[in-house]
Amino acid sequence: MNKPTAVGSLLVIALGAFIAGRSSGGSRQQNTPSAKRVLYYVDPMHPAYKSDKPGTAPDCGMALEPVYEGDNPAAKLQLPAGAVSIAPEKQQLIGVRTEVVEKNSGSRLVRTTGRVAPDDNRVYRMMAGTDGWIQSLQDSPAGTVVKKDQVLAVFYSREFRNAEQAFLGSLASQDRVRGVRDTDDPNRVGDSSIRINEEQLKTLGMGEPQIRELRKTRQVTGDITLVSPVDGIVLSRSISPLQLFEKGTEFYRIADLSKVWIIADVFSDEASALRPGSKATVLIRELSKTVTATVTDTPPSFDPASRTLKLRLESDNPGLLLRPDMYVDVEFRASAPAGISIPAEAVLDSGMQKIVYLETSDGVFEPRPVELGSSFGNRVTVKRGLAEGDRVVTAGNFLIDSESRMKPAVLRTVNEKRDATTATAAVAHNGAMTHDPVCGMSLDREKALADGHTETYRGETFVFCSDKCHKKFLQDPAKYSEDRLRSAADRASGRQND
């Protein structure tokens, strides 16, 4: 092969290699997958709607936003102020639980505390009927359980001598008239003077056992025994050994505890459900015992310190289980109040307002101010802010609240940018734009009016992006009207701060 032929062959081979390399590089470039793959498409105003294909949302007509692999789906959503989107994996991690708002029905179990008090009609105050002094005192301080006719103390008073002599004189006179000394059966004594003298001895403070002994022995004594009038417990003792006392001094205060009062703390709505004769269960926690109490017909009194009503119940006290000033648990059934209720743990109280978090769609949680009513058990009634069927967060709401308060500024910037773009387009079209009060979507007012998605409430006309938002507004128009006024005030405040 000559030299020119060799050079030509080399050039042909080099050119072929170059062309083959270009073709291979192009083929590799064509076979390289896209850096980002579309997972699905979402409605930016209603994140529950997802589609595998691009297009427009069926409810409001907005263009669906693509969600690429590795993107944050929340960045595609136009969420209301304070609302957050939380993925299912994160919900499981922080322990989010929800519950549906429902109407109250049937009865409810109410638990409260009560204090045991002696029945005032069964409290005996032992008073001195004359002057004297204490000679001896038995071991009977406050809290001592005593039996009827048990000796408590011995005292001396000279005024008893004259009364005893008069009593014995009446007995002697009766014996002379009848000629019989009948000292064993006092019920056969019919002489009026004997009854008068006996009543005088009782007034001065002599007990029945000593009067019977005096009738039997016919011996005057200066030592007067003080005995318990009933089986009960000593509430107080106001005397001491060798103490001088005056007429009217209180010796003892003794309570018959066979029946006791239980003063229960209840709220006004609970007290109205407990009519006289209603039954309640009283639990003595320390003894693991229960007794049944009955609501008395005495109207409850108001306690300004606890801001509750003091309801009086009456209970038998077998074995003296209940003692004065003992605290017990009281349980009773009452009809549930009208309206709707939620678990108490669903409410976050900041002091200025009470809010709950609603799951408005899959993974989207929105704060909602609520006005609460009475509480019963572990639930509270809701006067305003929620509707039956709403789903509220009952666990994990503190972490959701933190997420809401720390919502990334980038998401707010994206939403504000979308709102600005929509507003610019609407102004360019006819110079008029507004927002859907339900979902917050920016709307062409004239187009919405033409489509018929409007509603007049309290003299103001509201427009909606779809029938769905329109129907939701009709369920609670006052709520969305107040939210709109509050948002307008917040925007005005923001402009002033800027």
How far is 363 from 101, CA to CA, in rounded Å?
18
Q: In which band, very low, low, confident or very high, does the pLDDT at 412 lie, cut at 50, 70 and 90?
A: very low
Q: What is the mean pLDDT of the chain?
A: 76
Range name among 30-34, 204-208, 366-370, 394-398 with the lowest pLDDT average: 30-34
pLDDT digits (tens, 9 = 90+) for 45-97: 665 567 777 777 666 666 777 777 655 555 555 566 677 777 788 888 888 88
DSSP string, 455-498: EEETTEEEE-SSHHHHHHHHH-HHHHHHHHHHHHHHHHHHHHH-
pLDDT for the residue 424:
47
Indicate whether 452 pLDDT > 50: yes
Identify whether the C-beta of residue 284 lies closer than 8 Å to the C-beta of residue 328.
yes
130 with 237, same domain: the answer is: yes
Asked whether residue 286 is domain-assigned, the answer is yes
Question: Which of 304, 335, 366 is the last residue before a domain boundary?
Answer: 335
Domain holding 49, by residue range, is: 38-76
- Sheet hosting strand 244-245, strand order edge to edge: 223-227, 151-156, 132-137, 244-245
How far is 178 from 168, CA to CA, in rounded Å?
15
Asked whether residue 270 is domain-assigned, the answer is yes
pLDDT for the residue 255:
94
Q: How many CA atoms lie within 13 A of 141 on its CB side?
A: 0
364 with 468, same domain: the answer is: no
164 with 241, same domain: the answer is: yes
pLDDT for the residue 377:
64
Asked whether residue 462 is domain-assigned, the answer is yes
234 with 127, same domain: the answer is: yes
329 with 359, same domain: the answer is: no
Asked whether residue 204 is domain-assigned, the answer is yes
Structure tokens at 52: 């595998």
Range name among 325-329, 351-355, 412-416, 475-479 with the lowest pLDDT average: 412-416
144 with 247, same domain: the answer is: yes
371 with 458, same domain: the answer is: no
376 with 432, same domain: the answer is: no
pLDDT for the residue 33:
42
Structure tokens at 297: 């017909």
396 with 485, same domain: the answer is: no
pLDDT digits (tens, 9 = 90+) for 461-492: 888 877 777 878 888 787 777 665 555 544 44
pLDDT for the residue 410:
41
Asked whether residue 25 is domain-assigned, the answer is no
Q: Choose the most confident range, by mean pLDDT, from 207-221, 224-238, 448-462.
A: 224-238
137 with 232, same domain: the answer is: yes
Which is nearest to 263 in space by CA: 318, 326, 316, 319? 326
CB atoms within 10 A of CB 162: 12
Determine the average pLDDT of the residues in 431-454: 69
Structure tokens at 423: 């507003």
Q: How many CA atoms lie within 13 A of 350 on its CB side?
A: 12
Asked whether residue 263 is domain-assigned, the answer is yes
Question: Which of 405, 425, 440 is the last residue before a domain boundary?
Answer: 405
Angle at 159 between CA 154 and CA 162, to 5 degrees: 120
208 with 99, same domain: the answer is: no
How far is 486 from 175, CA to CA, in rounded Å?
100
The 3-state DSSP composition of the chain as helix, strand, coil percent (nearest 5) reads 35, 35, 35
Task: State the angle between helix axes of 477-497 and 467-475 in degrees (0 to 180), rounded to the nearest 10.
Answer: 100
Determine the average pLDDT of the residues in 304-312: 87
Q: In which band, very low, low, confident or very high, does the pLDDT at 233 lie, cut at 50, 70 and 90?
A: very high
Identify whether the C-beta of residue 110 lies closer than 8 Å to the C-beta of residue 331.
yes
Q: Choose the most confident range, by mean pLDDT, from 91-95, 271-275, 408-412.
A: 91-95
Provide the terminal-to-terminal Cα distance of the chain, rounded to the nearest Å: 88
What separation in angstroms does the CA of 254 have from each of 118, 121, 151, 325?
Answer: 10, 11, 13, 15
What separation in angstroms does the CA of 172 have from each of 5, 15, 168, 308?
Answer: 174, 160, 6, 64
189 with 302, same domain: the answer is: no
% of residues, the chain, pLDDT over 90: 17
Question: Which of 286, 309, 335 is the last residue before a domain boundary?
Answer: 335
Asked whether residue 22 is domain-assigned, the answer is no
Which is nearest to 229 in space by CA: 150, 143, 128, 154? 150
Determine the average pLDDT of the residues in 14-36: 51
Asked whether residue 388 is domain-assigned, the answer is yes
Instruction: Give the total number of structural domains in the chain.
Output: 5
CATH code of the domain containing 94: 2.40.420.20
